[in-house]
């Protein structure tokens, strides 16, 4: 079954499709991934705040981080 384009609702995409279309924030994703790797398993993590105008991709970036973490834990 073909779904309608999900231009403004990335939750309609499967994880694989989402990753394939994620191109805009690669440098920020890599930086967050490096930062997360520095946190000891039992250590305290500092909060990180993503700030940007509406539609900039903050939620999409967080979904991509989630997918990355799940893939690394599998």
Q: What is the pTM of this model?
A: 0.76
Position 1 scores a pLDDT of 55
List pLDDT tens digits, range 5-26.
556 677 788 999 999 988 888 8
Name the DSSP letter for residue 70. Answer: H
* Residue matched to tokens 């940007």: 52
List pLDDT tens digits, range 25-59.
889 999 999 988 888 888 787 788 999 999 888 99
Q: How far is it between the farthest Cα atoms of the chain? A: 46
The CA distance from 64 to 29, in Å, is 8
Position 68 scores a pLDDT of 92
């Amino acid at each position: 079954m073909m779904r309608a384009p999900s231009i403004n609702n990335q939750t309609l995409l499967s994880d694989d499709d989402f990753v394939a279309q994620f191109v805009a924030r690669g440098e920020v994703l890599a930086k967050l991934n490096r930062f997360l790797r520095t946190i000891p398993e039992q250590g305290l993590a500092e909060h990180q705040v993503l700030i940007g105008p509406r539609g900039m991709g903050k939620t999409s970036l967080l979904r991509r981080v989630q997918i990355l973490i799940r893939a690394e834990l599998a």
